[in-house]
Structure 1
Amino acid sequence: MPIPLVHPAILMPLFRRPLMPAALAAGAMAPDLALFPGIRHDPHIWTGVLTVDTMTATVLVAVFAFARRPVADLMPSWVRARLAPVLAAPSRSWRSPTTWLALWVSAAIGACSHVLWDVAHGSWAVLGDYRQLGQDGTTLLGFAAMTTCAVVWLRRAPTAMPLPGVGHRSRKAAWMIFAGMSAGMLVLAQIYQFEPREPGLTVTAQVWWEVVNCALAASVALILGVLVWSMGWRAVAAARGFRQLPHRLGTAPVPSPPPERRTAG
């Protein structure tokens, strides 16, 4: 099946109001993230879509709201300059009932898309031993679609002065920690196998299984790293006082020429 981080790819055409893009993406990932012990409803059936998946998506949206500014501050300066207008744009009011309605409807749509995508993967059984290659091939297509849309958006987005944040050394240290966590998770993936290996696989299928196993491990490392970084960033922001956004954000300012010096005469 597609890894959770790729499931929002199928919903990208719906990323616009009145729906909530963050809730659509969270709902699309929720069925795989809601597989916790003790849950009575299967998150991959329709009753789970309207209950546990929607609740899980609500938690994910809250995490996104908590982490999006710290994660944006991790990016290179040219990316932060393009994200600044988005971060400074007016957001929905959480006191409004329409905001919560948009969140829950969007989360339910996202969870439905996840279930339908997983059900559609049953058709790959006609490939026999290569069915896993066909299933996970859609993961690569989804990842390619998301990457392409992100690159196109970054190239077309207007720029603004990057928002206040941490220094270059802190960003560099964070990326080094992320790399170390990813390496550690890859080792654990080989020991504990995030994706159970099916018996009797061909050599090609076994290699592909290793790719999927490493992708799942990298996803776990990414999630843990983002949470740790966001908590640390918020603590530093509270100490240094750069949580508030600038009052005015426009296009990147052009340096004005120095004033002419007048000579007495």
Structure 2
Amino acid sequence: MPFTLAHPAAVLPLLRPPFSPAALVCGATAPDMPYFLAAARIPVSAQSWYEPFLNATVSHGLSGLAVSVSFALALLLLYAGVRRPVAALLPGGRAPHGRGGRSARRVGGVLLSVLIGVATHLLWDSFTHADGWAVVHVSPLRARLAADLTVARAVQHLSTAGGLAAVAAHLWRRGRRAPGGGAGPTALPAPVRRTTVAALALAALAGAAARTHPLASYRGGPAAADRVGTREALETVASDWATGGGAALVLALLLYACLWWGHRVWRIRTARSTREASA
């Protein structure tokens, strides 16, 4: 599959009214959430009521649209909780302000944006997944370029690189257009920012390491028929690193956000008590 963080590239042209940018991005990444939940090793069986939410095959099909939409809405709630704490980690003058456009507060606009984001993900993956609709019905996508490298797999790698480049370019342009100036009222001191960012990076690295299996296991069993190629083994390693590191980073961000909001509430109450005492 294309790397999850490349999928928002498909909705970049739509990041404007009447659409909700956050909902578009959450929808574009939502179908891959079962891959990240797998890092938690949640016990599941076919009879578990939550099994569809841990099944990437379900979330990548039209029959699992409700699952993907549910994930997107959950991501939106997480975004609402971490937006300001994460903004406080940005250099002075780069933190976003405001509460978002009016369209983001309209349920209809949010749901439409979520559905569009999910649709772009499913369409993109249909050209890269071995069981994708386009791959199954368009025979040239199944043609082999070299060894076990098919056209669809090549499209996967090229589109991932292109998507990540497009997202990086978009963020760079947004950063250049952001107003300069001093740090905002919620910005953290530079030493605290650096320490927090380092801690988040270490959490992601620890998650990636915890998700990594013995290297020999990535090559398959001892029998020749069970062995896999180097490319496929490396893809599996990269997938484990991405899902393990991503899951750990999300948990670390949630912990940091809770601490940030707790400290903010404490500061507000302390300032209010000081004003009342001096009145």
Query: Which interval holds the TM-score relative to the shorter structure?
Result: 0.7 to 0.9
Q: What amino acid maps onto 1:186 in structure 2?
A: A
Q: Is the 8 A contact 2:208 2:241 kept in 1?
A: yes
Per-residue deviation at 1:23?
A: 0.5
Say whether residues 1:167 and 2:194 are aligned partners: no
Q: Is the 8 A contact 1:66 1:230 kept in 2?
A: yes
In structure 2, the partner of 1:177 is 199
Q: How many residues align?
A: 231
When residues 63 and 89 of structure 1 are mapped into structure 2, their CA distance, relative to the original with a 3 A threshold, is closer
Q: Is the 8 A contact 1:133 1:208 kept in 2?
A: no
Say whether residues 1:82 and 2:94 are aligned partners: yes
Say whether residues 1:53 and 2:68 are aligned partners: yes
Say whether residues 1:119 and 2:130 are aligned partners: no
In structure 1, the partner of 2:81 is 66
- CA deviation vs aligned residue, 1:113-133 (integer Å, no higher than 9, x gap): 111111110445433523456
Write the distance in 1 (CA, Å) between the matches of 2:205 and 2:94.
30
Per-residue deviation at 1:39?
A: 4.1
When residues 188 and 28 of structure 1 are mapped into structure 2, their CA distance, relative to the original with a 3 A threshold, is same
Q: Is the 8 A contact 1:133 1:205 kept in 2?
A: no
Q: Is the 8 A contact 1:34 1:52 kept in 2?
A: no
| Partner residue of 1:216 out of 243, 262, 266 | 243
Write the distance in 1 (CA, Å) between the matches of 2:115 and 2:91.
34
Per-residue deviation at 1:167?
A: 2.4
Say whether residues 1:130 and 2:144 are aligned partners: no
| Partner residue of 2:112 out of 105, 112, 115 | 105
- CA deviation vs aligned residue, 1:168-221 (integer Å, no higher than 9, x gap): 33222212322321221122121389xx87754333443344333323332223
Per-residue deviation at 1:226?
A: 1.6
When residues 93 and 113 of structure 1 are mapped into structure 2, their CA distance, relative to the original with a 3 A threshold, is closer
Q: Is the 8 A contact 2:7 2:28 kept in 1?
A: yes
Per-residue deviation at 1:93?
A: 7.8
Q: What amino acid maps onto 1:75 in structure 2?
A: L
RMSD: 2.8
- CA deviation vs aligned residue, 1:49-90 (integer Å, no higher than 9, x gap): 2x222222112112111111100111222xxx1334xx2366
Per-residue deviation at 1:92?
A: 2.8
Percent identical among aligned pairs is 27
Say whether residues 1:231 and 2:276 are aligned partners: no
When residues 178 and 136 of structure 1 are mapped into structure 2, their CA distance, relative to the original with a 3 A threshold, is same
Write the distance in 2 (CA, Å) between the matches of 1:130 and 1:22.
35
Q: Is the 8 A contact 1:58 1:103 kept in 2?
A: no
In structure 2, the partner of 1:207 is 234
When residues 125 and 153 of structure 1 are mapped into structure 2, their CA distance, relative to the original with a 3 A threshold, is same
Q: What amino acid maps onto 1:201 in structure 2?
A: V
Per-residue deviation at 1:160?
A: 4.6
Q: What amino acid maps onto 1:43 in structure 2?
A: S
Q: Secondary structure at the match of 2:212?
A: helix
In structure 2, the partner of 1:2 is 2
Q: What amino acid maps onto 1:58 in structure 2?
A: L
- CA deviation vs aligned residue, 1:96-154 (integer Å, no higher than 9, x gap): 6xx00001111111111111111110445433523456523422221111011111221
When residues 170 and 197 of structure 1 are mapped into structure 2, their CA distance, relative to the original with a 3 A threshold, is farther
| Partner residue of 1:153 out of 134, 153, 174 | 174
Write the distance in 2 (CA, Å) between the matches of 1:172 and 1:137.
34
TM-score by length of 1: 0.75
Write the distance in 2 (CA, Å) between the matches of 1:187 and 1:231.
25
Write the distance in 1 (CA, Å) between the matches of 2:20 and 2:228.
41
